[in-house]
Amino acid sequence: MIRMFGSKCLPENPPGDIYVENNQESLNIDLERLKATIAKIRDLMGYRTYDVSLLLVDDQEMRETNEETRGMDEPTDVLSFPFTEAIEPGVLTPPVVDIGDYYNMGDMMIDVPYVIRACQDDAKYSHSDLEDEDRGVSAAMAMVMDPEERINMLLVHGMLHLVGYDHIDDDDYQLMVAKEEEILRLLGKKAE
């Protein structure tokens, strides 16, 4: 189901902006390809007219942000900061005012050195060991040793957080994993 608040479902309405800032030096990343992936995911989620931002960071910036926002003094792979509250997973509250500034999914941060280390760690295991891992983005990523490709997959996870999906309890986890797998399939990534 496509939800495009503010678009009146008219295809001539322009897509929202995609902002990407690269504050890390560990990996040379094709930012245009990254923006294209974000656009595909956003379109598949039904939020074509919404803005979304991504900040690529190093361990220190991620650790500091994780401490400030979640009280965890350690880096993590991705953090998401929704701009709009979700009515339910996948359904954002319609903007109060029908102007472009209010059509914003939110911001994401990805720790590139963290992703590189995860690729190196997973490369030590056989594919059969990794296939027994969790489902969703985690399982799909465990089979991918290219950091840039993993970042593209983390975008699915991060963007689902922006529209209200979570994995706090088992039911939420199952719902989020099912949506991750659906989007990964539509993107042509292995999801099972």
Q: Is the pLDDT reported for residue 100 higher than 90?
A: no
pLDDT of residue 97: 77
Provide the terminal-to-terminal Cα distance of the chain, rounded to the nearest Å: 23
pLDDT of residue 136: 63
What does pLDDT average to over the chain?
86
pLDDT of residue 44: 94
pLDDT band at 38; cut points 50, 70, 90: very high
pLDDT of residue 113: 98
Q: Is the pLDDT reported for residue 7 higher than 50?
A: no
User: For the segment 151-179, what is each residue's pLDDT rounded down to a tens digit?
Assistant: 999 999 999 999 999 988 888 888 998 99
Q: What separation in angstroms does the CA of 47 have from each of 144, 150, 180?
A: 27, 22, 16
pLDDT band at 41; cut points 50, 70, 90: very high
Q: Which of 95, 91, 109 is nearest to 21 (CA)?
A: 109
Q: Which residue has the higher pLDDT, 174 or 142?
A: 174
pLDDT of residue 40: 96
pLDDT of residue 68: 96
Q: Which residue has the higher pLDDT, 102 or 57?
A: 57
pLDDT band at 13; cut points 50, 70, 90: low
pLDDT band at 132; cut points 50, 70, 90: low
Q: Is the pLDDT reported for residue 9 higher than 90?
A: no
For the chain, which domains are there?
18-186 (3.40.390.30)
